[in-house]
Amino acid sequence: MARKTAKNTDDTPTPLLAHGGKVLSLVVVDAYNAEMRSPEGFLGDRASRRAFQAILDDWRDRVSRAGDDPLGEQPSEELSKKHLDKTLVEGDAEAAGVIHGAIEEFAQEFAQVIRRFLKLKDWKNTEALVVGGGLRQSRIGELAIGRTSVLLKADGIDVDIKPIHHDADHAGLIGCIQLVPSWILSGHDSILAVDIGGSNIRAGIVELRRKKAADYSQAEIGQFELWRHSEDEPEREDAVQRLIDMLVGLIKRASKDGANLAPFIGIGCPGVIRSDGSIERGGQNLPGDWEHKSFNLPEKLRAAIPKIGENETVIVMHNDAVVQGLSEVPGMRDYEHWGVLTIGTGLGNARFTNRRDEGEKEEEEAEEDEAEESDDNE
């Protein structure tokens, strides 16, 4: 594919350390958390993890009317992705057929949802989509994504659709690297990152690995903690304290391991994030009332962890789908406009326009000079 770079963002002001920021170092966040409605409710609910389970239930019910359920008696919500993947490869042919039927129907729904997104003003001219979330981390998810891509291309919609290449549990942490200008990370080899979801809270140490790749494309998760808060049903303040304890523990581990943590904590959180770090809307699946105007997670974390090493702690929070998408920034530089869709409790979404860094500008200018010189010689 020919190299494409954004030409309308060169004069954009230098990025600021703002929560929910529109302008970041390498991308402009054109839109996120779109909540399109249909007569049946939110359109994104038709392409969520629960939607796939409902479709699978329907296929099982229809098939079982003529005999036994090929997948047995266990409810669909209790069938792990690993179990379904194994059934596709090694299981009974009829059971695999039921799963394939669910994948096909889900892909039809997903393709229809994507068509609606691409009609939105802020999503015009989208060239590529990366798909993340829990369902992506399975063969059934990959097949659903691939089938969706085929359906759209067969319909004449030329958009590259691919799974996020990071582990689903890691992408929402690695993307935090892109929330701040690179100078904040200078001289450090790792950061703290948090991914807050409707069921889980993840916290980890992201190893930058800049010696392997200056664009952070080789960044990996070192230490990692996962808390399934939906099982404990905590109050909001209890959840915050648990997160603080996780982060403090990770800081101690980093010190013990000799890691040089940057004085920065990146956070991905559901909902629309105000510039002061509060949540405007979309936090309904979190434990307690996270949308209350008096609640501010970054402020609470900064009060509990005022310094990392010798420096004051910088905290930046953005929407969780935005952060998952940011994990793909190094691999999406050949596009101008691209987006992310995350298949989880709902359908997270964000659309980006790439910005050019100085190295890319110099490369493009060199290519233009070379082209002009070639024309002159001719």
**Structural domains present in the chain:** 37-163 (3.30.420), 170-327 (3.30.420.40)
Give the model confidence (pLDDT) of 45-61 as tens digits. Answer: 788 888 999 999 999 99
Mean pLDDT, range 373-377, rounded to an integer: 50
Q: What is the pLDDT of residue 136?
A: 82
Q: What is the mean pLDDT of residues 70-76?
A: 91
CB 318 within 8 A of CB 325: no
Tell whether the model's pLDDT for residue 28 goes beyond 90.
yes
**Can you tell me the distance from the alpha carbon of 339 to that of 353, in angstroms, rounded to the nearest whole number?**
9
pLDDT at 34: 87
Average pLDDT estimate for 99-124: 95
Q: Calculate mean pLDDT across residues 33-56.
A: 80
Question: What tens digit of pLDDT does each residue of 9-18 get?
Answer: 444 444 457 8
* Ranges 122-126, 179-183, 373-377: which has the least confidence: 373-377
In the structure, what pLDDT confidence band is assigned to residue 39 with cuts at 50, 70 and 90? low
More confident position, 123 or 167: 123
Span 237-257, mean pLDDT? Answer: 95
> What is the reported pLDDT for 213?
93
Q: Please, are residues 57 and 99 in contact by the beta-carbon 8 Å criterion?
A: no
pLDDT of residue 361: 52
Supply the pLDDT for residue 91: 86
The predicted pLDDT at position 11 comes to: 46
Tell me what pLDDT residue 370 has. Answer: 52
The answer to whether residues 31 and 351 touch, using CB atoms and an 8 Å cutoff, is yes
Give the residue, 137 or 176, on which the prediction is more confident.
Answer: 176
Q: Which helix (H) or strand (E) holds 342?
A: strand 337-343
Instruction: Taking the CA atoms of 351, 134, 131 and 343 in sequence, report the sign of the dihedral they define.
Output: negative
Query: What pLDDT is recorded for position 169?
Result: 84
Treating both helix axes as pointing N-terminal to C-terminal, what angle do 139-154 and 81-90 enclose, rounded to 10 degrees? 70
Q: What percent of the chain has a predicted confidence (pLDDT) above 70? A: 88
Average pLDDT of the chain? 88
**Is pLDDT above 80 for 376?**
no
- The mean-pLDDT minimum among 131-140, 256-265, 335-344 falls in 131-140
pLDDT score recorded for residue 7: 45
- Which residues, including other chains, have CB under 8 Å from residue 278's CB and lie 6 or more apart? 291, 293, 295, 296
Q: In the predicted model, is pLDDT for residue 362 greater than 60?
A: no
What is residue 158's predicted lDDT score, i.e. its pLDDT?
93
Q: Among residues 231, 189, 238, which one has the least CA distance to residue 209?
A: 189
